Amino acid sequence: MNDKQFQHLVTLYLEDAINDCDLDLLNLELATSPERVRQFNDIRLLTGLISEHGDAVEPDAPNNHPSSGLLNGGCRVSPAAPNLKANAGAHFASRRSIAIAMGLLAIAVSLLLVFNFHDTNSQRDEAVTGIATLAYTSQSSWEGRRPVLGEWLSSGKLHLEVGLARLDFRNGATITLQGPAEFEILSKDKTILRSGILTASIPESAIGFEVVTPAMDVVDLGTAFGVSVGADGETDVCVFEGKVEVSLSDGIDQPRLVREGNAVRSRPKDDTISSVDYSIERYEDAWPVTSGVLQATGLMKFVSPGPNFVPGRYEDSDHILIFPERSRVLLESELEVNVTDPGQYIRVGRRGRHSVAAGLAIRSYLVQLNPIGEFPRGEVGGARVIGQITFDRPILGLIGGTSLLNSTDQTLGHPLGDYGDTRRGIEPTRPDDLPDSGRDNVTLSRDRRTLSLDLSASSAVDQIRVVVSE
């Protein structure tokens, strides 16, 4: 929901003109966004002042506005809504005073949204709602401070004993910690990793994000990277995409540029930063979570990050592979896809033609089964693999037909992907097929976040492009 839509719903609510459908939308927005709750409460405070000083209503007049209970993460919010409608029985009420109050209300909502969203760097904003939110955990255990899921965190130390924890920063940066890890938030763009493993995805809005370690300072230049700090402070930095700038923690050297597909290492009190082999093995648990894949079960395998790990260069008869392709893509026009609705599909790649609306920000993944070697066309007994994958955002559409896969390679495909000219896509099941016929089966869950696959690849490469809300 954008600012304008939120402004409209809040105004309707405060005017007592909201219908049940819009009230449900407002409930959902408040239930899933602490930032929206803060804005809503600020707006209520300001409109209360407008009601007190701007309305033509007697000071002791009763409040006739019904208080609809809005949800805030499972807690009821009972707004003290202002009386912006004149009491019909009050002889001094006038249409002019009501119009003025309504105008002030609209202005209040607009101004609060503008200042809340475009001044997020202010100390007040960080103090009230925090710098980062705990967006996801998996089998996590904390020592000392124990944040809860969805909690906004301000500056301070975190000690993750075991498990994974993802922090989504207000400026757009995403950090996943793998325990045991000692981590500290200093500000919206500066952190400390004293020990443990961290993976990061940094958008343009957060370029300059810094991770300080006992041996090195790492400054992002628009990238994705991993940092590993051992018990002795030895620090490895591995760049998955883009580039970072590294320097010794004592600052005696000139910053050094490290590009994607490269890695460096240093120890506390060393006077140099050394190049090492690019290895992502230690980041394979944390990186999928940073990339938006919360869980992969069955024989699903998240492909290692880096410039050499791209679609078209992998053959694997035992796993369905998951490739992150593009992120933060703004659709300038409607995107044609094969599937948009939840359900089990018997025809993914042929006749289904739907669209994802223009103006949305999306990211894309490629799910692939590409067996080792080649199978003659029509041969039975090819590789059959079953798995399930869960994303952190709703799936907007699936592309499983050869023509749509080819036509979206340029805008949604991996920049370094080698897709070739082989037949690709998802073979449609026929209505008369038996349950174990070996045809491909694709199921999109009701909450649109989980994709279940039963794929059998032979002469063609099984591929599905997954379009997810950013």
Residue by residue, DSSP assigns 198-222 as EEEE--GGGTT-EEE-SSEEEEESS
Q: What is the DSSP letter of 128?
A: H
Q: Which residue has the tokens 């609060």?
A: 112
In the structure, what pLDDT confidence band is assigned to residue 46 with cuts at 50, 70 and 90?
A: low
Using a 10 angstrom Cβ sphere, with 0-12 exposed, 13-18 middle and 19 or more buried, the burial of residue 340 is middle
What's the pTM value of the predicted model, to 2 decimals?
0.68
In the Cβ-directed half-sphere of 322, how many Cα atoms lie within 13 Å?
A: 27
Question: What pLDDT sits at residue 108?
Answer: 54
Q: Does a cis peptide bond (omega within 30 degrees of 0) precede residue 180?
A: yes
Rounded Cα–Cα distance for residues 312 and 426 (Å): 16
* CA atoms of 305 and 119, how far apart (whole Å): 34
| Helices then strands, each counted (H, E), the chain | 7, 28
27 backbone dihedrals φ, ψ, rounded to 5°: -55, -50
CA-CA-CA-CA torsion sign (25, 30, 31, 35) = positive
Confidence of residue 86 (pLDDT cuts 50, 70, 90): very low
**How far, in Å, CA of 228 to CA of 345, rounded?**
42
Write down the mean pLDDT value for the chain: 78
What is the set of domains in the chain, with CATH numbers? 3-118 (no CATH), 130-283 (2.60.120.1440), 291-469 (no CATH)
The per-residue pLDDT for 290 is 95
Q: Which of 79-83, 92-96, 304-308 has the lowest mean pLDDT?
A: 79-83
**Could you give the CA distance from residue 200 to residue 217 in angstroms, rounded to a whole number?**
14
Predicted confidence band of residue 13 (pLDDT cuts 50, 70, 90): confident
Residue 62: the pLDDT is 38
